[in-house]
Amino acid sequence: MNEQVSLNYQVLDALLLDYAAGALSQPLEILIETHLAMNPESAKTMRILMQLGGILLEECEPVSLSEDALNKVMSAIAEDEEPLQKTTQPEHSFLPRPISDYIPDLSCTKSWRSAGIGISRHDVTFDNPDMRATIYRIQPNKAVPLHSHTGAEISLVVAGGFSDESGTYGPGDIAIQEAGGVHKPVADADGECIVFAVNEGDIRLAGPLGRVFNLLMK
């Protein structure tokens, strides 16, 4: 397992814990809820966290759990294979909720603005000013220009897929970029890629042309 894949698992585990504790910002909460609706393995992990949390809350005093408490939880999970949140397919969209509630009509060009050749974006406004949420549509085989991040970026693939320097991501997968990370995502050849990205900082184009553009934009 390479360092980037290990980082993705660590950050995802932390996000799931924060979600279970109700500690996520609204953009990340929506991202994780959509991920859970699309990823049965993460949904099962969330059920474990929720049920273990329920056991701890039932303890009136700070005492250790009984020896068979974990076994009981795991048995209950084995008997209940229904996901935490079922993937809901709205009549007007093939995309899962809750993210489908924030994606404008794909056929309405006025709802999207260009972000490069074969790339369009729709900014989603939330109350948290420290995070930027954006939905990207990337046409097959098109590449997002090489860029860096001044803060962490958490991205969820809602449809299609893409590859970058860290790996390959498909529907329901979460990709993590740390502050300072540089990458060039390329959409898969078999269909449009739709990504919901939450950024804690700015995105800056990299490479010679990117540096010139960034200087002009100051």
* pLDDT per position as a tens digit, 179-212: 988 999 999 999 999 999 999 989 998 865 554 4
Count of other CB atoms within 10 angstroms of residue 147: 20
Confidence (pTM)? 0.77
Mean pLDDT (whole number) for 163-191: 94
> Is the pLDDT at 218 greater than 60, yes or no?
no
Count of other CB atoms within 10 angstroms of residue 50: 13
Mean pLDDT (whole number) for 170-176: 95
Mean pLDDT (whole number) for 104-121: 90
* pLDDT per position as a tens digit, 82-97: 444 444 444 445 788 8
Determine what percent of the chain is predicted with pLDDT higher than 90.
50
Cβ(159)–Cβ(95) below 8 Å = yes
Whole-number Å distance between alpha carbons of 138 and 146: 14
> Is the pLDDT at 119 greater than 70, yes or no?
yes
Q: Please give the pLDDT value at position 132.
A: 93
**Alpha helix (H) residue ranges in the chain:** 3-20, 26-38, 40-58, 69-79, 207-217
Question: What is the CATH code for 102-217?
Answer: 2.60.120.10
Mean pLDDT (whole number) for 129-136: 91
Q: Please give the pLDDT value at position 54.
A: 59
Q: Please give the pLDDT value at position 9.
A: 80
Mean pLDDT (whole number) for 59-75: 52
> Is the pLDDT at 67 greater than 80, yes or no?
no
> Is the pLDDT at 78 greater than 90, yes or no?
no
Question: What is the CATH code for 3-79?
Answer: 1.10.10
Q: Please give the pLDDT value at position 62.
A: 53
Could you state, in order of their start, the residue ranges of all structural domains in the chain?
3-79, 102-217
> Is the pLDDT at 27 greater than 60, yes or no?
yes
